[in-house]
Structure 1
Amino acid sequence: MAETRRRLRSSTVVLGGMGVVAAALTSCGSDPDRRCVDRDSYTYEGYKVVADRNCNTGSSGSSSAKGGKKKSGTGQSADAAWYYDADVSNGRADYGTFSKSEAVDRGGFGCSGGSGGG
């Protein structure tokens, strides 16, 4: 009766704290969500999402925001570019940004808004 409060085990506290740290690190360190879109296809629903290969330039893993004129499967050229942190619905992406740095600056849990180094 003297001790009525429940005590948390130290392993529970450590594991819970590590989960919070992991969530903070992954939200800051990961690349923002991106979609390859045709910049010439904007309507009130957003940009048309096209195949990622249209945005990949020369080197593998490139995340160029400029993309470039590419041939689509229909023989028309598409001005493809990466579009970050967009809402995607029915093959259309809207409310995002073409700037990767802006998408990263939006941040997540535990992220600072700017970069250091004066």
Structure 2
Amino acid sequence: MADIRRRLRTGTVVLSGVALLAAALTGCSSSGSSKRCVDRGSYSTGKGYKVVENKNCSSVKAAVDGAWYYGGTEKKHWVSGGSFTKPIKTSGTSHSSKKSKKSRSKAKTRH
């Protein structure tokens, strides 16, 4: 009976650990939070840039000098370690449907 209780406790600890790990990884996920609107004039050496409302990056009449900031780490509405340069999306390898002249000429001569 003690052996069964020990296995149940071990299983509970393992499941709890997996749940915590999943929650931590989800919290650190960059999807959806990799682009933030920041005030360019708010830079602080220890903190980075102040995160502001998105409307400050999409409106001409913005209250601050807003710009999109990509990547980085956000702490208490400040972000650092990123860039103002938009990352380039890569879609993998490119396949061309056109055949080269060499392969077309070989295909013609194989009759």
* Coarse TM-score class (shorter-chain normalised): 0.3 to 0.5
TM-score of the aligned structures, taking structure 2 as reference length: 0.44
Per residue, is there more helix in 1 or in 2? 2
Relative to the length of structure 1, the TM-score reads 0.42
User: Which has the greater radius of gyration?
Assistant: 2
Identify the structure with bigger relative contact order (alpha carbons < 8 Å, sequence gap 6+): 1
